[in-house]
A and B are shown apart, each in its own frame.
Chain A
């Protein structure tokens, strides 16, 4: 598996088709939910899936994909989301301007990224443990800032222009949240696939030793990766808090496991087993329609969770099937 990414031109084998497990799963579930319910295929429902499920998790998963592509992992993406949300809402709550709120939110998320960057690139702590430490410290910061976890709601009568713009606004018939997601996706697609930094990140993830011995700026790139990931997660946090018009402490961690799941489901898509933006987005879509579809066919909240778990498990089982002989 480690070197298979080099063999780009090998002819496809029947087993390779198994790697389209996520695609088959997605299409199958889409057709199933469309047939099983009258509401799934409606424009309103699909829009709600895209806005409520896909956009926020999608943006956050971009950051996770970038870090995993560079050979690391970031457990603190939820912390970056929460910090951005906290800064954004807090500035608005004390009457600051919209621009100041946005800037504070993004800066707070970037600060999380800088902490990770220092820990991983400078102190050489493994990403899993470094970002786990950041996650724990972030939990304390959030609890201390909110008296143990009280949400911050914006009082009615507050000039809500920013919320209407980000949370519920519609431009050219498409919700603003989706525009933001589309912009972030396009940006990361270009970054990872078409820039020098992106190519170096791919090398770094595929062969860290190779990257170091060929003289690539490994430390600097690692630092940039963690800062960029935290930054994009900050955007996700701002979109999320604009949608619900409040800051809920520790809400971001709910996205952590889904983002990891989506990214790794995405890695099964290519023969090389590396993370890629398109694969991650398919993973996010898969998770989104499963949650929505199970709700629509009348499964209760409890069974939805069981169903989601089993479906992800099956997709993983099928997708990893083709690697068995590797």
Chain B
């Protein structure tokens, strides 16, 4: 038992050390890297990916870690695009900010509801159900936007895209605030504990009298809401809705899965996902600052996943 703790502790240290090495490396190599403005900028640009990865994390916690039969929400990127389109179209047709925000969030939750219904009631594999829903989202987005950029300008959007207290971006504050709320709800509440129990061993959770269906379904609703919030953020950052949000899907999956190596027991956590998202953000930012072509970014992300997951599975094997 002490050996086990020692081993995973080493890995956790290892991933944090990797984060630190990359951070310090860029701080030395790129003069503009370790500046408050730049760091806030990275957090700002990680806001969309972060919120979506939180949604994915909640689903993975509730569904279990097996990517095929466990929880996964492939519709998140499509949901983001759809919610942003809903916001932009309403905003452009003259609706107020409140209505547009409510409609965008409602469309996100509606997508989450369809996922929850498909997974819990119809018992479709989450991988497949959310895959189909992703296609539907992408299609409805196309219907709304005709595959074109829909410009949206409003006071709320410019407020969101602007600077808040201390001259730091508002989205950065919002990302940290959402992370804080979710950490409280998932990591520090009875509901969150039950969600982990349901994901960890569904039959045991059911035998212990937990409302398994409600927790699993709820995780998809939270994920849908995250998609809606991400949509509003994206509308603010891009001044409306632009096609191509679907490309984010794999980055979301990577962030949520990478996050588990930042946790003590190698399970997905909100804080771990936040660290993973920031890690990816700093990597991209640092490469830009030292003028490495952006073509390398996805390759480095790929190597990173393989490295982290490879060492994790190595440690897991020694643990068992």
Q: Which residues of A contact B (CB under 8 A)?
A: 73, 119, 123-126, 128-130, 132-141, 143-144, 148, 257, 260-261, 264, 301-310, 312-313, 316-317, 320-321, 323-324
Is B183 an interface residue, CB under 8 A from the partner?
no
Q: Which residues of A contact B118 (CB under 8 A)?
A: 313, 316-317
B166 at the A interface (CB under 8 A): no
Across-interface contacts of B146 in A (CB, < 8 A)? 302
Give the residues in chain B near A301, CB-CB below 8 Å: 142, 147
Q: Is the CB of B139 within 8 A of A309?
A: yes
Q: Which residues of B contact A125 (CB under 8 A)?
A: 306, 309-310, 313
Complex CA–CA separation, A130 to B309 (angstroms):
8
| Cβ–Cβ < 8 Å partners of B127 in chain A | 260, 264
Q: Does B133 contact A (CB under 8 A)?
A: yes
Q: Does B155 lie at the interface of the complex (its beta carbon under 8 Å from any beta carbon of A)?
A: no
Q: Which interface residue of A125, A136, A302, A303 has the most chain B CB atoms within 10 A?
A: A136
CA distance A303 to B314 in the complex (A): 47
How many chain B residues touch A (CB < 8 A): the figure is 45
Known A119-B306, A126-B309, A139-B299; judge A303-B139 contact (CB<8 A): yes
B147 touches A316 (CB 8 A): no
Residues of B within 8 A of A (CB): 67-68, 118, 122-125, 127-129, 131-140, 142-143, 146-147, 250, 253-254, 257, 293, 295-303, 305-306, 309-310, 313-314, 317
Within 8 Å by CB of B124, from A130, A136, A144, A317, lies A317
Establish whether residues B68 and A312, one from each chain, have CB atoms under 8 Å apart when the complex forms: no
The answer to whether B135 touches A144 (Cβ under 8 A) is no
Inter-chain pairs besides A125-B313, A260-B131, 10 sampled, C-beta below 8 Å: A125-B306, A132-B302, A133-B303, A139-B299, A257-B131, A257-B135, A260-B128, A305-B142, A306-B143, A313-B118
30 A–B pairs (Cβ distance < 8 Å), ordered by A = A125-B310, A126-B313, A128-B68, A129-B257, A130-B309, A134-B302, A135-B302, A136-B305, A140-B295, A140-B298, A143-B295, A144-B293, A257-B134, A261-B131, A261-B132, A302-B139, A303-B139, A304-B139, A305-B136, A305-B142, A306-B143, A309-B134, A309-B139, A310-B136, A312-B135, A316-B124, A316-B128, A316-B129, A316-B132, A320-B122
